[in-house]
Amino acid sequence: MTHEDFNKLLEDRLAKTRAVLAAKSQEYATDGDKLHNFKRAGALQGIHPAKALIGMWAKHLVSVLDLADDVARGDVSRLGLLDEKIGDAVNYLILLEALMTEPKG
């Protein structure tokens, strides 16, 4: 992959990440807290919100691993899902960082 192709991929991913995280704020940010769902899920399970997020993220990570297995076997029939699954993984890591570094009030 050329530097130019990689830089385009990077810029496209960053733009998609911004768009999805902004859109999902409307859906998931109950009472103005972008991390509400993870905090609520953590409270339900009696675990830290970051651990709750990791549990939710696991489903997305399994999908990425399955796609990698497909590609390793030469099967690219489901490669159309890659953009969505990579986006999910990037977004969950950003949200995990937010949960782990959120200042305590």
pLDDT of residue 70: 95
Task: Judge whether residue 105 has pLDDT over 70.
Answer: no
SS3 for 48? coil
Answer for the pair 96, 53: CB distance below 8 angstroms, yes or no: yes
Residue 68's pLDDT band, with cuts at 50, 70 and 90, is very high
Amino acid at 41: A
Give the C-alpha distances (Å, rounded to integers) separating 48 from 10, 41, 53, 74, 102.
Answer: 32, 9, 9, 40, 13
pLDDT digits (tens, 9 = 90+) for 88-102: 999 999 999 999 999
pTM, 2 dp: 0.85
Residue 37's pLDDT band, with cuts at 50, 70 and 90, is very high
